[in-house]
Amino acid sequence: MKWEHNSLVETDTPAEEFVTINGETYPVQLPWKGHVFGIKDNPKSMDLVKVPIDFSFEESKIYVTRKTRDAFVRMANAAALEGIELKVDSGYRSMYYQRQVFMRLIAKGKTFEEIAGRGTAPPGYSEHMLGIAFDMVPSNSSFVKTESRKWLEGNAHKFCFEESYPEDLRDGFLWEPWHWRYTGCDT
């Protein structure tokens, strides 16, 4: 997997991919298929740091990589100078956490396919487990109408951030205007 023009590019996609949740094995379908992140779920090796409370929704404890946090703080401070408030309500999520999300929804009667088809990444497939992705507040479709979103559209690239799943993405992912990732560019 590699990033290319705001999208993950398949480098070697196996014929079939599976995830196991609560002892059940499920086939991974598009758009997730081919987009697994081949990393161990080991946050201690990721240099995760807490996002300052000033930038987290309801003083949540949100963690991301140090470089992501530092770039976000610079970006949020720049936005604040223009009267725009940037807050996040989600950052790093472990594979265990993502598995728990699926277990909870399956227990409520949803199928694996329904959950993944509505945009929830299967365990091992979420950018959040890389520690480089944020969900901006509000983390739903209403974010598209906010001044924060307008500001990000014109300025996020200056701080090495981009919208992960933009409206014009053609690979089957649902549009998530609230989901932004740090690209790691040099500033």
Neighbour tally for 3: CB within 10 Å: 12
pLDDT for res 83: 98
Rounded to an integer, what distance in angstroms lies between the CA atom of residue 156 and that of residue 182?
9
Three-class SS of residue 83? coil
Domains and CATH numbers, the chain: 2-182 (3.30.1380.10)
Model confidence over 162-171: pLDDT tens digits? 999 998 876 7
pLDDT for res 4: 45
Rounded to an integer, what distance in angstroms lies between the CA atom of residue 147 and that of residue 114?
32
pLDDT for res 70: 97
Mention every residue, 6+ apart, whose C-beta is less than 8 A from residue 64.
48, 49, 51, 72, 91, 92, 131, 132, 133, 134, 182
CA 94 to chain centre: 12
Mention every residue, 6+ apart, whose C-beta is less than 8 A from residue 135.
88, 89, 90, 178, 179
Question: Which DSSP category does 152 fall into?
Answer: H
Sole residue written with tokens 């996609």? 13
pLDDT for res 35: 86
pTM for this prediction: 0.84
pLDDT for res 43: 59
Model confidence over 12-70: pLDDT tens digits? 555 789 999 989 999 999 889 988 887 666 656 688 999 999 999 987 899 999 999 99
pLDDT at 150 > cutoff 70: yes
Residue 176: which H helix or E strand, with range?
strand 176-182
Sole residue written with tokens 């990033």? 3
Peptide bond into 43 cis (omega under 30): no
Selected residue with higher pLDDT from 187 and 183: 183
Model confidence over 64-105: pLDDT tens digits? 999 999 999 999 999 999 999 999 999 999 999 999 999 999
Residue spans of alpha helices (H) in the chain: 66-81, 95-107, 112-117, 147-155
Q: Do 29 and 113 meet the contact criterion of CB atoms below 8 Å apart?
A: yes
